[in-house]
Every structure is written in C-alpha cells, then in structure tokens.
Amino acid sequence: MNAIETNYYKLLSSLSLAMDLGSRGLMYHHQRVALIALQIGKLYGLSQEQLERLFTAAILHDAGSSTWEEKQQLIEFNTTKTLNHCKKGYQLFYQHPLFHNIADIILYHHDRWDGLCNSSGRSKNEIPLESRIIHLADRIDVLVQDNVYVLGQKKQICRIINAESKRLLDPFLIEAFNDLSERECFWLDLHSEFIDDVLAHHCPVITKQLEVLEIMPIAQTMAKVIDFKSPFTRKHSVGVAEVCYFLAQKAGFTSGHCDILKVSGLLHDLGKLGIPDTILDKPGKLTSREFDIMKRHTYYTYHILKMVDGFGTINHYASCHHEKLNGRGYPFKLDGKEIKTGARIVAVADIFTALTEDRPYRKEMEKKQVVEILQDQVKAGVIDNELTILLLTNYEEALWSRQNCS
C-alpha cells in the first residue's frame, strides 16, 4: 500500500478542478491557464525544467483564493483586488517540500509589466518570467465567455490583450500569443470537451509516479485550501486526518495503510470548495434546502478523486464519510456491508473532530457530551461500534492528536 501508481500531472490537474468549483463561470480555469501558459512557454523557448515549473505554478496559481467572493473578483479583467490571494498562495508554498520553487511565481502572477501600483516594486524583467506568462494566460482565460462560440470571440480578445501590451502585460509574450491565436486549435482547445487529453499532450511531467508519502504534502496543501474557505474550519481537514491516522494505527493497520487513511482524511471535504460560503459560515442550523446543497460536497469529492489513477481506495475512504451503516447516508445510500473499515474510520474521525471544534453557533463540546453523541450514533446504526469504542477508550490521546496538528 506504500506506492500508488498515479501520476503527478493527473493528480494536480484533477485537484485543480476542486479550486474551480466555487468559481461560477470559471470551471477548468486552472487547466486552461496551464494549457495556455505551456503553449506560450514553449513558443518562447523555455527549457524542460522551466516548463515543469510553469505547469505546476499554473495549475495551482489561484490556490490562495478560497472564498467565492474573492474568486468572483478575479474574473473581472481589470480587477485590482489580487494581492491577498497572491500572498496567501505564496505562504502556502514557500516552505513546501515540493512546491517551494513556485512560491515566487505565484506571489507575482498579477504584477503589471509597467510596474504601476505593484506592491512588489518590480516591473518588466524583474518579474519572474513564469509569473508574466501565467498573468497573460490568466487574463486571456477570464476573457473567454462560455456562452459564445469561441472562434467568434477571437478578435475581441486579441484586441483587449494587445491594448495591454507594455501596460499590464509583457509585450514579448503577447507576440507569442499573437502567433498562437492564428491557430484555430488554440481557441477550440479552450472550449474543448477533450481538454484533459489536450492538456496531457502539452504537459511535460505526465509519467512521474508517486509514493504515498510524496502525495502527502500535496494533500496537505489541498487541505489548507479547503480549510481556509471558512474561518470555522481552519484546522478541520488536518484534524480529521490526524484522528484517522491515530485510529488506523490503533486498529492495527500497516504503516502504509495508515498513511492512506491520513491522505483520505486530508481530502475528505475537497468538495466543500463547491459549497457557497454563506452556507458553510451560517451562524445557525441549516434549512433543509441548504442541507441538500451541502450534501453535494461528497459527490464532488468522489468525482474529482475518481479522475486520479490509483486513488480508488483513497476515494472510497474520503468520499463515503457521510454514508451510514444503516444505509441512510449520502450521496450513494451505501449499505453497511459496502462501507469499508477505512471509510468507517473517516466517518468516526469526522464526527469526533467536528464535535470537538468550535462552530459558528456553538463552542467545542465537553467530553461527556461528545461520548453521548457518538454512542447515540452507534445505537442509531450510523457509525461503527468497534471503532467508536476504540476512539472513546483512547479519547484524550485522540483529542491531543487533533489539537496538535499543524
């Protein structure tokens, strides 16, 4: 269980869809920006190493923007409200074992070519080349409208982009864009049903295989993006992951399988990026309509993780955390027999973590109340009895692992 046959490109590309979920009208934004950036980078003569870095930065470039409101602002072509997500993206990556070399690129990816109003004080070639490429690709993509045939938009987009030459955008990169814009396929790719294949064709790192421990820092980054969506869940995913790992160890899982449980815990709420902030941050109980919307999150988690090769087990554990042993959970209404022990662990860890965290409408619960609720859930046929006993007999240790995660 230690090695997962998956690939770096597909993993990042699929996870990027979760970041697009909240952004109305900008589904596939990260994939399309990566696609445009790679083509401009190739025409500009970037080395293989630069292209790999460019892909990674492009596919993650707006990771610092978690709320729907902020994403909406970034869609506007002339937006000036960009600094916050650039800084947050930088903070996510600058000490990251895999992504530290893209932190600067992300920090400057909205810097103007002419330097006007750039808080970095940089202009022209002082801005990293990859940042300038992503900036151009990003602005091209926000101009593409979903509801108008793409070849009919070509002239207008070229006109707007060229008007920003030497102002917002790098004039030399715009020359490369003008070359690309002559090709119908450049535009058709942006509205393509085959974007996955197209991106795979242009992507430089498709064959990289990953070990579970190499996936961990990627999952940890996504967990931060998810948890930052709401001030009330700042440490929820990492907390669930630690409790999952703890329970898996106590249940006698191998060390590799414990790592799988941790990755599953980190990614279990991936689909929450597709739930409106107003529902996640609501200071009170959800109405039944709001709860119906909330139920979409595990459906999203399932379909995003399903795209990643080798993630079958992780996907089952992560996306079945609201299934119930009595068959009344969601979204698949799985029967108890179909819910594997790993998924049962995530379900118990999720409830335990939620009860011991502050929520908009209540403070964290005391042990007595938590024990009562968990035992009631067992009696109602929701969660696993043995795993709940395992958790309750090691309550303080489990709580410690949740509270001391970073």
What x/- string results for residues 110 through 149 when contact with Fe ion is judged by CB under 5 A? ----------------------------x-----------
Q: CA 292, CA 341: separation in Å to the nearest integer?
A: 26
DSSP string, 284-338: SPPPHHHHHHHTHHHHHHHHHHHTSTT-HHHHHHHHTTT--TTS--SSS---GGG
User: Does residue 70 belong to the site contacting Fe ion (CB under 5 A)?
Assistant: no
Beta strand pairing call for 3-7 and 209-211: antiparallel
**17 Rama sector, left if φ>0, alpha if ψ -120 to 50, beta otherwise:** alpha
> Hey, which residues between 222 and 261 contact Fe ion (CB under 5 A)?
none
Give whichever of 62 and 111 is closer to Fe ion, judged by the CB atom: 62
Q: Which of 4, 12, 16, 62 binds Fe ion (CB under 5 A)?
A: 62
Whole-number minimum distance, CB 210 to Fe ion, in Å? Answer: 25
Q: What angle do CA 70, 74, 79 make, to 5 degrees?
A: 115
Whole-number minimum distance, CB 371 to Fe ion, in Å? Answer: 22
Whole-number minimum distance, CB 108 to Fe ion, in Å? Answer: 11
User: How many beta carbons lie within 10 A of that of residue 5, not counting itself?
Assistant: 8
Give whichever of 138 and 259 is closer to Fe ion, judged by the CB atom: 138
Size of the site for Fe ion (CB under 5 A): 3
| DSSP 8-class letter at 376 | H
Element (H, E) at 2: none
Give whichever of 138 and 227 is closer to Fe ion, judged by the CB atom: 138
> Hey, which residues between 265 and 284 contact Fe ion (CB under 5 A)?
269
CA 85 to mean position of chain CA atoms: 14
Give whichever of 210 and 219 is closer to Fe ion, judged by the CB atom: 219
CA 93 to mean position of chain CA atoms: 14
Q: CA 128, CA 123: separation in Å to the nearest integer?
A: 10
Q: In Å, how far are 89, 137, 192, 309, 346 from 74, measured between CA atoms?
A: 14, 13, 23, 31, 34
Decide: 251 and 341 in contact? Cβ < 8 Å: yes
> Hey, which residues between 157 and 216 contact Fe ion (CB under 5 A)?
none
Whole-number minimum distance, CB 236 to Fe ion, in Å? Answer: 9
Instruction: Find the part of the chain contacting Fe ion (CB under 5 A) among 2-10, 54-62, 226-234, 356-364.
Output: 54-62
Whole-number minimum distance, CB 244 to Fe ion, in Å? Answer: 13
Whole-number minimum distance, CB 227 to Fe ion, in Å? Answer: 12
What is residue 161's three-state secondary structure? helix
What x/- string results for residues 9 through 48 when contact with Fe ion is judged by CB under 5 A? ----------------------------------------
Give whichever of 83 and 158 is closer to Fe ion, judged by the CB atom: 83
Decide: 294 and 279 in contact? Cβ < 8 Å: yes
Give whichever of 152 and 231 is closer to Fe ion, judged by the CB atom: 231
Whole-number minimum distance, CB 249 to Fe ion, in Å? Answer: 23
Instruction: Find the part of the chain contacting Fe ion (CB under 5 A) among 42-50, 55-63, 219-227, 397-405.
Output: 55-63
| DSSP 8-class letter at 277 | H
Whole-number minimum distance, CB 231 to Fe ion, in Å? Answer: 17
Give whichever of 42 and 295 is closer to Fe ion, judged by the CB atom: 295
Binding site for Fe ion (CB under 5 A): 62, 138, 269
